[in-house]
Amino acid sequence: MKKRNLLITLTACLIAAMFVGCLKDKDLASEAATTPDQQETVAPFTSEVIPGQYLVVYQEGAITFNRGSARLPYAEVQSIMQEEVRATLQRNNINFAKVMFVYGSSIKGFALKDATAQEIEQLRRDEQIAYIEQDQTVSVMMGGPPGGGGGGGQTTPWGVTRVGGAIDGTNAGKAYIIDSGIDLDHPDLNVDVANSVTFLGGNSTPDDQNGHGTHVAGTVAAVDNTIGVVGVAAGATVVAVRVLDRRGSGSFSGVIAGVDYVGGVAGNNDAANMSLGGGVSTTLDNAVIAAAGGSGCNCPFVLAAGNESDDANNHSPARANGPNVYTVSAMNASDNWASFSNYGNPPVDYCAPGVSIPSLWKDGGYNTISGTSMAAPHVCGILLIGGITTDGTVKFDPDGNPDPIAHH
């Protein structure tokens, strides 16, 4: 079933596991003249099983919060879930030190590391446990330079123009960018550093060490000033939810932790962007659907369809389908289908610009790259500034059911 349109102002919200691979592209003029068969190849999302790591999900109703109709604060939910998980592991003789994450603001469950086959089998027999899924890695293979400063005056990327042009987003909600982090002091962004987080552990920070997340954030909300580029919701606040490392790698468990955070803190005027993906994960799909439509949060989630030239139903979280969940395919400047883009409707809701997209980069830089990772943030920006509509359909959609082109 198609996800419902937002015809009211939504403003905003937003694996490590997966991610749109992107390559530095040809110039815009040559790209606009290409046919679908001439598009450059963009690296697909990838994922591998992580030995000893598992996602454990509770039965519906096994854990309830005494909250009435109100949403409990994220920190309080985390505390409650830690105690519930501790009790679950204690009765199954499993060390609590093996817990990596607990989830309660989307799905209710937890992630384990260094778990033995015997321990997993014991948990499968626990009547409170619905299912257990093995964790997977995800990587984004990035091309192009490592950053560098921008020069000259401000320009409006073709993609921003195609979806209706930049709109003042300074009074809009926040965009939660679940990705490789954001360049926290980029001069062309308004970053909410205080609420930015990392789920990589160790000494990691929300600061982008890869570039991908900063590029996504720029398309959503680059500031309307005299430098660089301008975003769809120009000047809107962006929040870094870092789930990928400097190589663009992460895990489903870490990505779900990021989704759970957004589900716990985002407001009704916010939006979230997930320009990442990999193999199939029921747990990740369910977390996205729950966070987008959960009690106390009406925050749309925008998902990249993926870069495998494949049916998006074969990939998570692209295949997630529910209220406030939008999956986005990619096109070029001639409204032609980007040959790398995944397809299928459902789950794809809209097509948006994703070829040769100029935006921001880490270390105060700028870069031009391609992928459905670049298409999704156009839609995220639209949702921040109001309802989404369409302006035609993409040409050469391989599934024979042309996706509507996103517009504000």
Active site residues: 179, 212, 373
At 404, give phi and psi (nearest 5°): -70, 140
Tokens of 378: 């156009």
241/260 Cα distance (integer angstroms) = 11
Cβ partners under 8 Å of residue 152, min gap 6: none
Residue 278's nearest CA partner among 252, 248, 257 is: 252
222/242 Cα distance (integer angstroms) = 19
CB crowding 342-375: b at 16 or more within 10 Å, else e = bbbbebbbbbbbbbbbbbbbbbbbbbbbbbbbbb
Q: Which residues is 234 bridged to in the sheet?
A: 168
CB 274 within 8 A of CB 20: no
Whole-angstrom CA distances from 270 to 18, 170, 185, 303, 335 are: 23, 13, 21, 15, 28
26/130 Cα distance (integer angstroms) = 49
Pairing between strand 197-198 and 325-331? unpaired
42/22 Cα distance (integer angstroms) = 5
Q: Can you list the alpha helix ranges (DSSP code H) found in 35-113?
A: 74-91
Q: Can you list the alpha helix ranges (DSSP code H) found in 238-329?
A: 252-265, 282-293
Could you tell me the strand order of the sheet in which 129-139 lies?
99-103, 109-112, 49-58, 129-139, 249-251
Count Cβ atoms below 10 Å from residue 47 Cβ, excluding itself: 25
At 54, give phi and psi (nearest 5°): -140, 150
